[in-house]
Amino acid sequence: MATFDFDTIWKEVLDKIEESQYFSEDTFKNWIRKTNLFKIENQIAYVSYRSKITFSLISKEKQLFEETLNFVWGEPVSIQFMEFREMQKLMPEEIVQQRTVELLKAEFNPDYTFENFVEGKSNQEAYAACLASCTQSKHYFNPIMIYGNSGLGKTHLLHAIGNYLQTERPELKVFYSYSGDLVSILLDAMKTKNVHGNTVEQVQAQLIDNDYFLIDDIQNLTQSSSQEVFFKVYNSLISKGAQIIITSDMHPSQLTGIQDRLVSRFTKGLVVNIQRPEFDTSRAILRKKLEGYEETCPISDEVVDFLAHKFSDDVRSLEGNLNRLIFNATLENPDVIDLEFAQKVLSDTIILSTPSDHLSVKDIKKAVTVYYGLSYKDVEGHARQRKLTTARHMIVYLSHELSDTSWTQIGYELGKRDHSTIKSSYERAVKLLKTDKAFALAMNQIKEGLE
């Protein structure tokens, strides 16, 4: 059965309708844009809407939508509008396929390239391995596994691979995913049966049809049934000569909940470690980040050394605190960012140089997402469903109480939210502990699992 990217088709339809200015800008943005094309079958296009207002708008102009879709699709079709939840129940396989297509799009952060990755003793082996995987015609090491604590550049390197290949070798198919999102897709596929065949096999075939397979945070692939599918995908990719590169926050020998046969395959290729950046590398990272700010926001060498010394456990924290200094400098406009100014701005930031056996925000985030059956992407996003906001409040509260981490760093781990938002979330959690028995029970159960 041929597969189509219905999201892309419908986007083109909506773009053309928007260009016609038939609807006002606000109406189109708030209502029309939130429709979806699920599938086209037997000359019927199934389009979902999420509110009665949207249905009222689109049903009155059904002819406009059909004519535009006919033009884009190239064949005459009629549209059937259905409420989104009803569509989900009737067409679960299309839901899985849409999510899989979205996952396969492999969008990479343009800021994460090999050129702006600062190489040093702490990361040079991982950097060299990733760059070589892109430039060499033969994959000498497969898979490549990069492990190390959060915030040291593992994700940067995966995105750098993707950006390099899309520019230099665009004919290759590159897949990238956070392991939690991959698990979510596989589990949904396993629950779904369709008249055209096995949904799992369809998703599996789409995953195998890649030349590079990049998986971030493999330690979260703990769901046993999803490991079975992943094992088949992994073996097929290796057999066809595709390059697999995975990251983990721990050495493969320390992975728990991952099948031994998978762990043994991870160690068969090349296992490299990224460590916390040494002082010189930290300074180089900061100087790289400061390029372009030299005249508008001068910063003293003393401050650069201060940041490199105090925040080198985590590159994200290193860059985040520099960003905070630059932002405050734009507000207060000092002649130069000196040590006194830096210490004043960062006075509420707790240094993250904690022993490795202490809980991290990532440990807590993992425990909470597992408890609520969510992914990192869910809690880092901006959806406001009660389950998601409850999980975020839980992560904030436990991170503040158990990890001794700053509001700023907690916010960064939760989708780069600002410290005031995180502080408000903590205050909300304190109230919930007093008024919501279910929240208090969940809190105690998660804390017991972390201790």
| Strand 193-194, strand 197-198: pairing | antiparallel
Which structure tokens are listed for 328? Answer: 């405050």
Please list, residue by residue across 390-404, b when 16 or more beta carbons sit within 10 angstroms of its beta carbon and e when fewer do: bbbbbbbbbbbebbe
Which structure tokens are listed for 120? Answer: 């040093």
The CA distances from residue 185 to 206, 229, 309, in Å, are 12, 11, 42
DSSP H/E element including 214: strand 212-216
pTM score, two decimals? 0.55
Query: Can you give the pLDDT at residue 63?
Result: 92
SS3 6: helix
Mean pLDDT on 354-383? 81
Distance from C-alpha of 37 to C-alpha of 5, rounded to nearest angstrom: 10
Dmax over Cα atoms in the chain, in whole Å?
71
Q: Above 60 in pLDDT, residue 353? A: no
pLDDT digits (tens, 9 = 90+) for 95-110: 556 666 666 676 788 9
DSSP state of 33: G
pLDDT digits (tens, 9 = 90+) for 293-326: 766 778 888 888 888 877 777 788 888 888 888 8
Query: Can you give the pLDDT at residue 86?
Result: 77
Query: Can you give the pLDDT at residue 73?
Result: 92
DSSP state of 336: S
pLDDT digits (tens, 9 = 90+) for 148-161: 887 788 999 999 99
pLDDT digits (tens, 9 = 90+) for 34-82: 888 888 888 899 888 888 899 998 988 999 999 999 999 988 999 989 8
SS3 118: coil
Sign for the pseudo-dihedral over CA of 312, 279, 132, 171: positive
More confident residue, 27 or 194: 27
DSSP state of 140: S
pLDDT digits (tens, 9 = 90+) for 267-292: 888 999 888 887 788 888 888 888 87
The band of 91, judged by pLDDT with boundaries at 50, 70 and 90, is low
Distance from C-alpha of 397 to C-alpha of 429, rounded to nearest angstrom: 6
More confident residue, 355 or 389: 389
pLDDT digits (tens, 9 = 90+) for 197-255: 456 777 788 888 889 999 888 888 877 777 888 888 899 999 999 999 999 888 888 88
Query: Can you give the pLDDT at residue 3?
Result: 53
Query: Can you give the pLDDT at residue 94?
Result: 59
Closest CA to 445 of 358, 367, 373, 380: 367
Distance from C-alpha of 45 to C-alpha of 413, rounded to nearest angstrom: 40
Query: Can you give the pLDDT at residue 130?
Result: 93
Q: Above 70 in pLDDT, residue 404? A: no
Residue 299 φ/ψ, nearest 5 degrees: -135, 135
Please list, residue by residue across 366-376, b when 16 or more beta carbons sit within 10 angstroms of its beta carbon and e when fewer do: bbbbbebebbb
Percent of the chain with pLDDT over 70: 89
More confident residue, 357 or 181: 181
Average pLDDT across the chain, whole number: 83
Query: Can you give the pLDDT at residue 40?
Result: 87
Query: Can you give the pLDDT at residue 143?
Result: 92
Query: In sequence order, which residues have a C-beta less than 8 Å from that of residue 239 and are 6 or more positions away?
Result: none
Query: Can you give the pLDDT at residue 92?
Result: 58
More confident residue, 293 or 139: 139
Sign for the pseudo-dihedral over CA of 130, 132, 134, 139: negative
Distance from C-alpha of 348 to C-alpha of 1, rounded to nearest angstrom: 58
The band of 146, judged by pLDDT with boundaries at 50, 70 and 90, is very high
Percent of the chain with pLDDT over 90: 23
- Would you report the helix, strand and coil content of the chain in percent, each value rounded to 5? 60, 10, 30
**First-last CA distance in the chain:** 50
Closest CA to 9 of 34, 37, 28, 30: 37
Q: Position of tokens 């046969």?
A: 261
Query: Can you give the pLDDT at residue 354?
Result: 41
Query: Can you give the pLDDT at residue 302?
Result: 83
Distance from C-alpha of 424 to C-alpha of 400, rounded to nearest angstrom: 12
